[in-house]
Amino acid sequence: MGLLQLLKSQFLCHLIICYVFLVSGLIINLLQLCTLPVWLVSKQLARRINIRLAYCISSQMVAILEWWSGTECTLYTDPKSYPLYGKENAIVVLNHAFEIDFLCGWTFCERFGVLGSSKVLAKKQLAYVPIIGWMWYFLEIVFCKRKWEEDRRTVNESLEKLRDYPENFWFLLYCEGTRFTPKKHQVSMQVAESKGLSKLKYHLLPRTKGFWVTVQSLRGTAAAVYDSTLNFRNNEMPTLLGLLNGKKYHADLYVRRIPLELIPEDEKECAEWLHKLYQEKDSFQEHYAKTGRFPGPIMSPPRRPWSLINWLFWSCLLLYPLGLLLTQLISSGSVFTIVASVAVCSAASLGVRWMIGQTEIKRASNYGNKEVSLNNN
């Protein structure tokens, strides 16, 4: 292990990274709150401001993956589709099997300049979580309760509001509804058998109703679906803690551009189309397992420097006053002050460990562990 790698693996570095992320995130949330009066004057201006502010938060996490850990991302796609990426609105359908697959999705957005405006379908509870949840609220993210009758109207109304969105956006969608685990896969395939559907080896059954509503709501707004299938070389299962330790991974992403007009408008036909899509995604994963690569040519979108520049800006801005504060605390000689500082750092370290733990697959939600949940397709 080299000296730089050893330095990256130290918990003090992790604590500093998380300190910068948390404090800068709260400052940005406050700035987003200050944009509320702007909404009354110009909705489009407020949207553009919030896109930039959101980028300041999400790009820090992308910088961890791209610049701190040095993780490589190889894109397999059609050269004819490549020039369109980032220049149109799109629905991005991702598989959900890795702890950092959301980060790889964000990196895909960052490489094509739509990270700040990217959208997701998130649980309603996340809207109340500081930093990421509040950022998403001001980005007009679609929040759902996982109760279909309520969510159907909510999703449709939220997506309809994006018809006049001032900049290109990608709507990232995990159709499986929850992260892949062996237990969830077993339950999902039991449902597939009971419904007479083809079984999948590498995916859970897609949840068709949410996909259909998304496609219908974004017709005329989004130009295409980007079918995206992610895997990692050498059968690695990357973790957020691994990234913080500076471990380098190599992600491979296979993207197919499917014009939205090719997707059936009828709900039943759309569901059949999505099931077929996931059978194809399964075959791509099987091909990857056998050959170590996805089919098709390789494109190499370069890393953009802006995520690193943003990360360095916030680090310099926040670490300087922190250093001054620590110097004053140590020079004061007060036992109480020093003990209080150690207690705060210990609490912060526990908080960091807790946040990292929330991304682990074993800590994933129980959604999809019961057959009754998966029947609502």
CATH number where 140 lies: 3.40.1130
Q: What share of the chain has pLDDT > 70, as a percent?
A: 90
Residue 232 counted as domain residue:
yes
Q: For residues 14 and 90, which has the higher predicted lDDT (pLDDT)? A: 90
Residue 33 counted as domain residue:
no
- Separation CA 190–CA 363 (nearest Å): 23
Residue 163 counted as domain residue:
yes
Best mean pLDDT range from 149-158, 215-224, 236-245 = 215-224
Residue 320 counted as domain residue:
no
- pTM value is 0.90
pLDDT tens-place string over residues 33-43: 999 999 999 99
**5-19, 185-199, 256-270, range with the lowest pLDDT:** 5-19
Residue 92 counted as domain residue:
yes
Give the structural domain span for 277: 71-304
Residue 360 counted as domain residue:
no
Question: Quick one: average pLDDT of 60-77?
Answer: 96
- Separation CA 247–CA 70 (nearest Å): 8
pLDDT at 349: 65
* pLDDT over 50 (residue 327): yes
Q: How far is CA 357 from CA 160, 182, 366, in A?
A: 35, 19, 15
pLDDT at 119: 94
Closest CA to 83 of 277, 299, 242, 261: 299
| Token pair of 5 as six digits | 């790698």
pLDDT at 328: 78
Q: For residues 360 and 374, which has the higher predicted lDDT (pLDDT)? A: 360
Question: What one-character-per-residue DSSP string does 227-271 give?
Answer: EEEEEEGGG----HHHHHTT---EEEEEEEEEEGGGS-SSHHHHH
* pLDDT over 60 (residue 325): yes
* pLDDT over 50 (residue 200): yes
Q: Domain tally for the chain?
A: 1
On whether the CB atoms of residues 153 and 343 are closer than 8 A, the answer is: no
Contacts of 151 (CB under 8 A, 6+ apart): 144, 145, 210
State the pairing for strand pair 90-94/298-299: unpaired
